[in-house]
Amino acid sequence: MKILQLYQRRWTLIYLPLLLAVCAAVAAILWIWKPLPPTRLVIGTGPGQSSYLELARSYAARLEHLGIQVDIVPHARPQDALERLAPGPGRIDVTFAQGLYAGSGRPAQALAVVGHEIVWVFARDGIDSVAQLRGARIAASVEGSSNRIAADILLQHAGVPASEVMFSPEVGDSAIDALSEGRVDAVIHVATGDSQTAATLVRQDGVHLLGVERAGALAAVEPRLRALVMPQGSIELRANLPATDLPTLVTQTHLMVRPDLHPALQRALLDVAGELHVMSGFLEGQGMYPTTMGSNFPVSPVARKALRGGRPWMETILPYRTAQWAELLIYALLPVLLLGTLLLLRAPRYIDWRVEAAIMHFYGELKFLEEDLARIGADEPSLLRAIARRLDQLEQQVDRMDLPDRYADRWYTLREHLLEADKRVRAAMPD
């Protein structure tokens, strides 16, 4: 393309493509990199009467202060929420899960262990150990629930085949009624220390709390459980509940997320977990949770890094939402805009370079002709005529050059040099 046409259409051929490239780069950053986290989060919980629902509400209240809207979705079974972390319709972002559900191959990661839940074993009077549950009727929820998983583990540990007991699906209030009415002989319930079901059963007449014999040995071979001693009177000191120190088992409570959840949201959840779970709970030490130590699920790389203090420095000095916009501006938009501005400012230099290259081409040709002229004598008229013809061709090419007006001085200077060279050739030629 001729230089004059390039100069006249510079906005269409140079500036507009650069502006479009900058816009495309910004769009690619926003679409592919996704530096800004979503403003809405979905937390899945168990049934309406579960403790996880109240915990989810506590998370929602604090997350909304950060500008994150939270939808809480209850599920009929706690494990249903864990399964919905996998891609598919109705997918959720966050849930809580007991360590008993680990090892099922679900595509989920733990942000932190945020507490533990006790394997409560209640039995009617006359049953003093888990081994005596052979032939008994046990309320342990449905197949696949944490209650049933815990029941299977305890019975196997006590040498009681699962085929020699009768399981009942009652849980919560229905399990309390079933035990009080004699329809079941025992209730195995996995819940926190402030469980209403456990608080009711431990005070019910004709019902007592069982310890787990050789709990330490069981925990040594079953990583999803940990042995713990429930001190005498720890449930209620005045009523002396329990009446003696009881060996018991706990399973850890995990804050679970889908693996592709935005890192900023994961860090926000960790901050909320630090606020909610740092205080000690039942049989929990001060500052024990949240932690990633001993997690039964794979731990999110974001959580590992964040709990070691590795987080974007913007989030350490700015509020959550402001920090995300600041990172977007500094690390993404600002470099692209600076590069685009630099290219737009340098674009006129491209036209200057094209003009300079064209003019220097003619000066190079002129230099070669002058060197040839210096070596040729007057006795070689044919060579002088060849140089003269070449000069005429260069002059015609320069005359046909279309340059912008701003380069007219360079064009006239080049023509003067060519005319000067032509005069020297004519003067050297014999008459």
Strands 246-257 vs 226-230: parallel, antiparallel or unpaired: antiparallel
Q: Of 120, 115, 97, which Cα lies nearest the Cα of 107?
A: 97
- B/e letters for 37-67, b = 16+ CB within 10 Å, e = fewer, are beeebbbbbbeeebbbbebbeebbebbeeee
pLDDT tier at 34, thresholds 50, 70, 90: low
C-alpha distances in Å from residue 410, one per residue of 354, 360, 398: 13, 10, 11
User: What are the residue ranges spanned by the domains of the chain?
Assistant: 3-21+328-428, 40-311
pLDDT tier at 160, thresholds 50, 70, 90: very high
Cis, peptide link before residue 17, omega less than 30° from 0: no
Q: What is d(CA 123, CA 202) in angstroms, rounded to the nearest whole number?
A: 10
Q: What is the pLDDT of residues 336-351, one digit of tens each?
A: 878 877 877 777 776 7
Q: What is the pLDDT of residues 309-345, one digit of tens each?
A: 777 777 777 777 777 767 777 777 778 878 877 877 7
Dihedral angle at the C-alpha atoms of 409, 412, 417, 423, nearest 10 degrees?
-150
- Tokens 């891609």, residue? 87
Quote the percentage of the chain above a pLDDT of 70.
Answer: 90
By the 8 A CB rule, do 214 and 174 touch? Answer: no
Q: What is the pLDDT of residues 249-293, one digit of tens each?
A: 999 999 999 988 988 899 899 989 988 987 778 888 777 888 888
Q: What is the pTM of this model?
A: 0.72
Question: Looking at this protein, which amino acid is placed at residue 179?
Answer: L
By the 8 A CB rule, do 125 and 179 touch? Answer: no
Give 346 or 150, the one with higher predicted confidence: 150
Q: Is the pLDDT of residue 122 over 80?
A: yes
Cis, peptide link before residue 290, omega less than 30° from 0: yes
Note the pLDDT of residue 221.
93
Three-state SS across the chain? Answer: CCHHHHHHCHHHHHHHHHHHHHHHHHHHHHHHHCCCCCCEEEEEECCCCCHHHHHHHHHHHHHHHCCCEEEEEECCCHHHHHHCCCCCCCCCCEEEEEHHHCCCCCCCEEEEEEEEEEEEEEEECCCCCHHHHCCCEEECCCCCCHHHHHHHHHHHHCCCCHHHCEEECCCCHHHHHHHHCCCCCEEEEEECCCCHHHHHHCCCCCEEECCCCCHHHHHHHCCCCEEEEECCCCCECCCCECCCCEEEEEEEEEEEECCCCCHHHHHHHHHHHHHHHCCCCCCCCCCCCCECCCCCCCECHHHHHHHCCCCCHHHHHCCHHHHHHHHHHHHHHHHHHHHHHHHHHHHHHHHHHHHHHHHHHHHHHHHHHHHHHHHCCCCCHHHHHHHHHHHHHHHHHHHHCCCCHHHHHHHHHHHHHHHHHHHHHHHHCCC
Q: What is d(CA 288, CA 313) in angstroms, rounded to the nearest whole number?
A: 26
What is the dotted CATH code of the domain comprising 40-311? 3.40.190.10
